[in-house]
Structure 1
Amino acid sequence: MRWHDHGAVLGRPRVVVRPMQERIAVLNEVDDELYATYGGLRLDLALRPEVTDRACWSIDRFHPFERGHRALARAWAERLREAGFELPLPGLDPCGGCPPGRRRDVAWMVTEGAPWFGRRARDLGPWAVRRALAVAR
C-alpha cells in the first residue's frame, strides 16, 4: 500500500509536515521497489479521495475512525474485485462503535492525546524541529 500526504489530513503548514512527508516518501519508494520486484496487488491511498475526508479520521488525524476503516476495507475489496476475486463490497455507513462527538474528542485528548504528545515531544520533538528547519532553508 502506498501512503498519502498526511499533511492534507492534518491541515498544518508545510514546514511542519515536511519531515513526515520525507519519511512517507521513503516508505513509498520501498513499496515501489517491492512491487517492481515481486508484483502483487496494491492500493495507492493518494488516489483515494476519501483519504482527505476528515470524517474518516479520528481526532489525532493519524488513525482512521470507523468510517475510515470501512473506506479502506471497501477500497481493498474493489481492488480485489478488479483482480478477479468475487467478494461482497463492505458498506461505508458506520454501524457500530462510539459515535464521534466533541465531548468524546476532548476526553480522548485529555486522557490519551496530551500524555502521548508529551512523551513524543521529548524524543521525537527535537528531531522534528531540526528536520523542519533544515528543510525550510
Structure 2
Amino acid sequence: MTVYTRYVALGDSQTEGLGDGDDVNGHRGWADRLAEHLARANPDLLYANLAVRGRLAGQIRSEQLAPALAMRPDLATVMAGMNDLIRPGCEPAAVAEVLEEMYAALTKSGAHVVTVTFPDIGKIAPIARPLRPKVLHLNARIRAAAARHGVTVVDTFTMGFVTDARMWGTDRLHASPAGHARIAAALAHSLGLPGSDDTWMLPFPPSPPAPAWRVAAAEVRWLATFAGPWIGRRIRGRSSGDGRTAKRPELTPWAEPAAGREGTPGTRSRS
C-alpha cells in the first residue's frame, strides 16, 4: 500500500466542498473527507485545497496548476469541466485538452493523479437533458487522456445511485453531505486505502414515489431559486467565485487548525 504524504486538490466548487457545510462555518466536502481518510494511514499528511467555486477548466489550469506543482504532491485530484459544459458553446474536446495538460504535468512531476467522470446531469436536473451528448463526449475523452498518463479514473456515469436526488443538494449542482461522503469513499477505494471498500457503489434504499404535483412544484421552486439566479449571473458576466480565493492554499498538516481559514477542518475533521 502506498502511503501518501502530500495531497493537493485542484478544482471548482465540488472540490471546495459546496453542499457540505456553509460559508459561515466552512465547507467540508469530499476532498477534506478524503484527506481525513488519508491521514488515518499517515497522521503526518500535508494537505492543500486550491479549488475555487465557479472556475472553468482553463482558469483552474492557469491559477492552480503551477502552485500545485510547486508543492511537489505525491497525490493530486483533478475535478473540473462541469462549469464549462453547462455554458453555451462549450466544446468538450477543448475542455479535455485542458484536463489532459493538468494530468500530464502532475504525473510527470511524480504525483499519482485521480480524476472522475461526470454523471448524466439530465437525470439530476431535467432542464439539462440536452447536455447529455457533451457529457458523454467529455467522459470518453477523460478516460482516454487518463489512460495515456496513468491517471486513476473513478468512472461513475453508469452507476444509478449517482443521479439519485439524495446524492445532490437542493441546488442540484453540488453534492449533498451524503454525496460528498460517497465521492470521498469512491476515491479512497480507488487508491486502496485501509478501511475502504466498495460499499460506496450500493444504491440508496428505495424511497416512496412523490406525487406528480410535488414533483412539479419542486421543479418550479428550483427554477426560481437556483436556475434563475445562475442564468442571471451568466448574463451579467459574473461568477459565484468572483473575489474568492482557495480555502487551503498551502500544504499544512491535516490535523492542524488554521484559524479564520474557511473550510479548514481543525477539530471538526474528526466529527
CA distance in 2, matches of 1:47, 1:26: 14
Question: Mind listing any 5+ residue stretches in structure 2 that lack a counterpart?
Answer: 1-115, 201-220, 237-271
CA distance in 2, matches of 1:25, 1:49: 15
1:78, distance to aligned residue in structure 2 (A): 1.7
Distance 1:75 1:48, change over 3 A: farther
Aligned to 2:157, what secondary structure does the other structure show? helix
Which amino acid in 1 is paired with 2:160? P
Is the CA contact 1:3–1:24 (under 8 Å) kept in the aligned structure 2? yes
Matches within 5 A, 1:61-72: 61-72=172-183
Larger relative helix fraction: 1
CA distance in 2, matches of 1:56, 1:46: 13
Tell me which of 46, 49, 52 is aligned to 2:160: 49
CA distance in 1, matches of 2:195, 2:191: 10
Matches within 5 A, 1:12-51: 12=126, 17-18=129-130, 20-51=131-162
Work out the percentage of aligned pairs sharing the same amino acid: 26
User: TM-score under structure 1 normalisation?
Assistant: 0.57
1:73, distance to aligned residue in structure 2 (A): 0.6
Q: Which residue of 1 aligns with 2:229?
A: 115
Q: Which residue of 2 aligns with 1:2?
A: 117
Which amino acid in 2 is paired with 1:50? F
- What do you get for the CA RMSD once the two structures are aligned? 3.0
1:63, distance to aligned residue in structure 2 (A): 0.9
Larger relative strand fraction: 2
1:74, distance to aligned residue in structure 2 (A): 0.8
Aligned to 1:35, what secondary structure does the other structure show? helix
1:113, distance to aligned residue in structure 2 (A): 5.4
Which amino acid in 2 is paired with 1:45? T
User: TM-score under structure 2 normalisation?
Assistant: 0.31
